Chains A and B, each alone.
Chain A
Amino acid sequence: MQHSLPGKAEATLREILPRLVLSPSLFLILLFVYGFILYTGYLSLTDSRMLPSYDLQGLENYARLWGQRNWITALQNLAIFGILYILICSLLGLVLAIFLDQKIRGEGILRPIYLYPMALSFIVTGTAWKWFLDPGLGLENTMHLWGWESFSFDWIKDRNMAIYTVVIAAVWQSSGFVMAMFLAGLRGIDSEILKAAQMDGAGRWSLYTRIMIPQLRPVFLSAFVVLAHLAIKAYDLVIALTNGGPGRATELPATFMYSYTFTRNQMGVGASSAVIMLAMIASIIVPYLYAELRERR
């Protein structure tokens, strides 16, 4: 008994060492992610304004939030932006991937060109596109100088169209990435299946529509999840491209949350908008992660 104690302690240490090593990270995540989520959730139920307050007032902030025209605008913009962004990126990504998969000479040059925008900061992308889309300096001006006098492209200054310029810039940034995902998916399809289909006399068109594209279903799902969560989080790009304008025409939930919390002194409302954003993302991510983790076992 006496001299087995240190041995036992050592054995226990050896036993728990792995968990000990993991614990700082787990602690950080629990505190800074889940603790903070609870804190923000709590604030959303209080009358916090410029500074956090701990006086509960029920769901009043949520009622105020849904009564705000800016919030409704932000959600409508997110719907327009999110749907177009996901659709166009997926479609463009798929088409480019299929085209690139045709034994293209120079694929090694084209692929990195399609993909490099993903390495850039959204601030840089926004700066470049803000200028490119400016009617007085960018594309419209260039077309005029090239002799197409009637050409007009002033969406970025137009309240009704400005949100579509955000789509243009965001698609430019992310579509190459979706292309890379699809290309990897296409290259991963079992060649036996394709050979069998060709033996059965499947034409090239039906080879794609019937066999290959259905095989890409997991890639579609991954692309959707990644793009949807990027769309909900979109902030930097709007700040750099339009700064939420003209007026509040390109307001998104992320910009709404920031301005209500930090510049309009309505922290309670800001916190409640953040909770809604988290709920939107969680409703997409949690089922996906759950399925992925279960599958992998």
Chain B
Amino acid sequence: MSHSSQPAFSSGRLLRACLYAVLILFAVYYLLPLFVMLVNSVKTLDEIRGGNMMSLPKNFTFEPWLTAWSSAQIGVEPTGLSPYFINSILMVVPAVTISTFLGALNGYVLTKWRFPGDKVVFGLMLFACFIPFQIVLIPMARVLGAIGLAGTTSGLVLVHVVYGLGFTTLFFRNYYAAFPDELIKAAKMDGAGFWRTFTRILLPSSGPIIVVTVIWQFTNIWNDFLFGASFADFDSMPMTVALNNLVSSSTGVKEYNVHFAGAVLAALPTLIVYVVSGRYFVRGLMAGAVKG
């Protein structure tokens, strides 16, 4: 599909140099905040206060990272961010697994076992991807309270499964729509039922879309703040909420180096996923935005 047009600015060395200069300048712009966070997370507080944020650390120290992880004051408890990091993992793993599994089944039914009204069902699910979550905050708080899941990690898992379903269904539906119907027909002819067709024919070739969906869900749920801030209590707070508590707490000395270490810790899981499998991450973004 890629075109082989002539580069628009191939003529003129000067022009081409400008092109590279602009591109590199923007690379600096995108990297700068991360650079500042990393560099200042290994400085002492004195050095940050007295010095330049761009300069490299004179006295390299790993202390802020240890503090952020295990002893920084989050709210009233000096626990560091580690318990909240674990909360996030306990929330993300089941939420991603369940929503991906349901999305795969939904996509399968909506493309290969079509029924009257299936497009309406899909439309309803699709619109659910885009609603502003403010519209569900109040009733969700009531329902979580009523079923005894208020302030728990299980409650957050439920919330993220429900509001992730639209996207996971969208991903699998678009993927399976491109899967040849002839293969399905042949399998049905051979007597394969609903489940066998799914597990033997579709699932084995679903690797890429499962990766895309898992990455998408993982990134979204890990990075969520609104639901965590609304429905978690102190013991079930996810990482983003704990980080915000750490950074915006008004008591005591502001330990910027610890804040940065904490911010990098919160960003690390999604960054690692991005670095390892950026290709799939981009595909997920595209599938969420442009039709598949």
Contact = CB atoms under 8 A, between A and B. Distances in A.
Interface stretch (B46-54, B74-82, B148-156, B202-210): B46-54
Interface string B267-282: 1001101110010011
A274 interface: yes
Contacts of A43: 138
B226 A236 contact: yes
Nearest to A183: B282
Interface of B: 1-10, 16, 19-20, 22-24, 26-27, 29-34, 36-37, 48-49, 51-54, 102, 105-106, 109-110, 113, 115, 119, 121-128, 130-140, 142-143, 161-163, 165-166, 169, 193-194, 219, 222-223, 225-226, 229-230, 240, 243-244, 247-248, 256, 259-260, 263-264, 266-267, 270-271, 273-275, 278, 281-282, 285-286, 288-291
A142 B194 contact: no
Interface in A72-124: 96, 98-104, 110, 112-124
The 6 closest A-B pairs by CB, nearest first: A18-B113, A191-B3, A121-B223, A119-B274, A128-B33, A236-B225
Q: Is the interface of A mostly helix, strand, loop or mixed?
A: helix
Contact of A39 (B19, B36, B139): B139
Given A25-B106, A112-B278, A187-B1, A98 B8 contact: yes
A181 B217 CA distance: 20
A293 B119 contact: yes
B159 to A, nearest CB: 8
Contact of A29 (B125, B130, B223): B125
8 contacts: A28-B165, A32-B162, A33-B128, A33-B162, A36-B139, A40-B135, A208-B8, A240-B247
B53 A128 contact: no
Contacts of A236: 225-226, 240
A180 interface: yes
